[in-house]
Amino acid sequence: MKVLEEGVGPLFMDPDPDKARAFFREKSRAMVDKRMTVKQAVEEFVHDGDYLAIGGFGANRIPNAIVHEIVRQRRKDLGFLGHTSTHDFQVLCAGKVFSRLDSAYIVGLEARGLSRNARRYMESGEVQVTEWSNYALAARLKAAAEGVSFGLIRCMLGTDTFKMSAGKVVECPFTGKKFLAVPALWPDVSAIHVHEADMYGNSVIRGISVADLELARASKRLIITTERLVHNSVIRDDPTITSIPFYLVDAVVEVPYGSYPGNMPYLYFSDEEHLAQWLKVEKDPEEFEKFVDHYVYGVPDFQEYLVRCGGLKRIEELQRLENVVDGRDGA
């Protein structure tokens, strides 16, 4: 296949499918109890220097308990997949845990505004960046899930985003048309938050999955956090609803309200007041440092963070709000 043009961005992960296959060949696919705590999951599966990916979309269905714990355990020199990443990116920047970034959607918290601290970190020169579109990153995960070394797309052609990427413009051997070849991406470790899971890792996502199904299949190690742990018989009663099968999963952690302050579809709305508080306090770096100490470093776990944010009373308010948004409030 003829290469016509190349982006100048660094490639952080090896796209060789045979090397990935060699890793997965040794990975256990046993149907065993994988339950552990958030702290144990991060200690065992997230290491300095790893390439990390986070599931969900924006501030929706994010594994925020894992994100907090990565910062609290002071992981360093991670690579990060900046794919539809908003509040999770904001928290990771607070801990300066990554030094390499595949960037698509970062820094912005959608209509809420820009994270000033994330912007400061990205402009500090401490992070190597390669640029992509959100779809290009999804295509990279899809290629990895399929076990091939690259995917072909048309988006980004003719753009400055392509120039700053690690993609290659190639000529189709059948039609002579131009396509962008994007390298497969196998993250070292990923975390995905789901609605239900059994102790083996069979997981149910209700609503849009975004690229999480591809992410689960591409990840070398996968941590599942779940709103609710269910018995395996629930999964067996209707196996068609299983989004992620057990053999892809390395750890299962039950974390009720684990997407907070993000939204969990059909369960609770995002805490817009608390997200606004994050954005407001970032204006002053010294005040922001105190804020992070209070809400992240100064608590032993995510449950205590929830208590400091209003506890069950606040969660119940967000549950009622989600029902109103979904039209299930009975009005």
Query: 120 to each of 64, 79, 92, 109, 148, how far by Cα in Å?
Result: 22, 18, 13, 15, 37
pLDDT digits (tens, 9 = 90+) for 229-241: 999 999 999 999 9
Is the pLDDT score of 37 beyond 80?
yes
pLDDT digits (tens, 9 = 90+) for 273-302: 999 999 999 999 999 999 999 999 999 999
pLDDT digits (tens, 9 = 90+) for 85-128: 999 999 999 999 999 999 999 988 888 999 999 999 999 999 99
pLDDT digits (tens, 9 = 90+) for 125-170: 999 999 999 999 999 999 999 999 999 999 999 999 999 999 999 9
195 C-beta neighbours (distance < 10 Å), count: 20
The CA distance from 287 to 101, in Å, is: 26
The full set of domains in the chain, from first to last, is 30-146+186-326 (3.40.1080.10)
| pTM reported for the whole predicted model | 0.96
**Averaged pLDDT for residues 230-255:** 97
Phi, psi of 227 (to 5 degrees): -65, -35
**Nearest alpha carbon to residue 80 among 114, 14, 128:** 128
DSSP code for 294: I
Confidence at residue 156, expressed as pLDDT on a 0 to 100 scale: 97
**Averaged pLDDT for residues 308-318:** 97
| Amino acid letter for position 216 | A
The secondary structure element, H or E, covering residue 251 is: strand 251-254
- Report angle CA 86, 223, 88 to the nearest 5 degrees: 10
Confidence at residue 109, expressed as pLDDT on a 0 to 100 scale: 87
Confidence at residue 110, expressed as pLDDT on a 0 to 100 scale: 86
